[in-house]
Amino acid sequence: MTRAGRIADHASSPADRPGGHTPCCSPYAVLQEHASRQPEAEAIIIDNTALTYGEFFERVSAFASWLLNHGLIPGDVTGICIADEVGHLVCAAALLCLGTPHMSLGSHERAATKRALARKVNITQLVVARPEDWMDGLRKIVAPIDDPKAISAAPIAAANSMSQGRSSDSIGIYLNTSGSTNLPKTMGVTLARLFLGAKRYADNPKERRVLRTGSIEFDAHRLQRVCSLLAGNTCVFARDFNPPSIAALCGRAKVSLIHLNAYKLASLVQAATDGRGKLPSFTGILAGGSRVPGRLRKKVIDLLTDDLWVIYATSECGMISRASPDQHEAFPEGVGFPGADVRLEILGPGGDVVGPGEIGEIRVRKVSMTKGYVSEPGASNFRDGWFYPRDLVSQDEGGPLIFHGRADDVMILNGINIFPGAIEDVLEGHPDVKEAVAYPIKSRVHGEIPAAAVVLSATAERRDTAHLLDYCRQSLGIRSPRQIVPVESIPRNASGKPLRRELASSY
Q: 64 and 131 share a domain? A: yes
User: What is the pLDDT at residue 14?
Assistant: 42
261 backbone φψ class: left, alpha, beta (φ>0; ψ -120 to 50):
beta
Cα 33 to Cα 6, 37, 88: the distances in Å are 10, 6, 22
User: What is the pLDDT at residue 159?
Assistant: 57
Domain assignment present for residue 286? The answer is: yes
CATH of the domain at 72: 3.40.50.12780
- Name the domain count of the chain: 3
User: What is the pLDDT at residue 17?
Assistant: 36
Q: 297 and 181 share a domain? A: no
Rg (CA), the chain: 23
Domain that holds residue 280: 240-361+380-408
Domain assignment present for residue 220? The answer is: no
User: What is the pLDDT at residue 469?
Assistant: 95
- CA 385 – CA 373 distance, rounded (Å): 13
User: What is the pLDDT at residue 378?
Assistant: 65
- CA 1 – CA 139 distance, rounded (Å): 44
Domain assignment present for residue 235? The answer is: no
Given the DSSP bridges, would you call strands 308-314 and 318-323 parallel, antiparallel or unpaired?
Answer: antiparallel
Domain assignment present for residue 296? The answer is: yes
Of the residues 134, 169, 196, the one at which a domain ends: 196
For 454, the 3-state DSSP assignment is strand
- CA 24 – CA 195 distance, rounded (Å): 12
User: What is the pLDDT at residue 4?
Assistant: 63
CATH of the domain at 478: 3.30.300.30
User: What is the pLDDT at residue 415?
Assistant: 84
User: What is the pLDDT at residue 20?
Assistant: 40
User: What is the pLDDT at residue 161?
Assistant: 64
| pLDDT tens sequence across 139-198 | 999 999 888 777 776 566 555 666 666 788 899 999 998 754 568 889 999 999 999 999
Q: 271 and 385 share a domain? A: yes
Q: 247 and 142 share a domain? A: no
Domain assignment present for residue 46? The answer is: no
- CA 98 – CA 127 distance, rounded (Å): 14
- CA 7 – CA 5 distance, rounded (Å): 5
Residue 55's Cβ-side half-sphere holds a number of Cα atoms within 13 Å equal to: 13
User: What is the pLDDT at residue 86?
Assistant: 93
Q: 271 and 399 share a domain? A: yes
Low-confidence ranges of the chain (pLDDT < 70): 1-24, 153-165, 179-182, 377-378, 494
User: What is the pLDDT at residue 287?
Assistant: 93
Domain assignment present for residue 176? The answer is: yes
